[in-house]
Amino acid sequence: MKRITTLLALLCATLTLWGQEPVGAVGADVKSGVVADEYALVGVGDNVPSFEVPMTDGRTISTSDLRGKVVLITLWASWCPSCRKEFAAIAKGALGSLLAEEGFVWLPIAREENLATVKGWLAKKGYDVVSGYDTDRAIYGLFATQEIPRNIVVDADGTITHHESGYSRKGFSQLVAEIEQMLH
């Protein structure tokens, strides 16, 4: 009889909790916005954190340099299979005509990789891309605790409008469509 009562209590508890989102799950509030996943530290509606990133062409870009433009920040690594797929898709035109838009900046930033590694990987793959590199994970740590690739869209006012992790062709196409809509 004790077993039946215990099983019934567990069943009732399970049915009560069914459909409720666990704390920290997708859609949970962090600061003022909705986050992409449980590892995100900033969400939609938050201001983009301030940072400066060294680039493979020798420049340094800061968030203040990007004001007035729509920015797609892509946090990636050369060893990451999903990041490699995303870069290959971008090389084949997945960003469409966005790269030619005056009001748009694509800012890829390699996580925990140095200048030589990033430049070498881009050259080996034949990608004519300037990327940032975040050797000590300081920039990445402003946005999330884990998971790459990670795409963050920032509007001209410096507000995050989109934040997601992972790569899928369909999801990336939707991201591009959202950015195009922001620009036009």
Residue at 1 is within a domain = no
Domain annotation covers residue 16? no
Mean pLDDT, range 18-25, rounded to an integer: 35
9, part of any domain: no
101 within a domain of the structure (yes/no): yes
How many folded domains does the chain comprise? 1
Residue 109 is classified by DSSP as E
pLDDT at res. 20: 34
For residue 36, what is the domain's CATH number? 3.40.30.10
Q: Which residue has the higher pLDDT, 16 or 184?
A: 184
Are the C-beta atoms of 133 and 56 separated by less than 8 Å?
A: yes
For CA atoms 81, 85, 91, 95, the dihedral sign is negative
pLDDT in tens, 86-125: 999 998 999 999 999 999 999 999 999 999 999 999 999 9
pLDDT of amino acid 1: 52
Please indicate, yes or no, if residue 3 is contained in any of the structural domains. Answer: no
pLDDT attached to residue 36 = 63
Q: Is residue 6 part of a domain?
A: no
Residue 152 is part of which domain span? Answer: 26-183
Which residues fall within 8 angstroms of residue 114, CB to CB, at 6 or more apart?
A: 133, 135
Q: Does a structural domain hold residue 90?
A: yes
- Does residue 53 fall inside a structural domain? yes
pLDDT tens sequence across 121-142? 999 999 999 999 999 999 999 9
Task: Give the mean model confidence (pLDDT) for residues 4-8.
Answer: 43
Tokens describing residue 146? 């884990």
Both structure tokens of 29 = 């509030």
pTM: 0.81
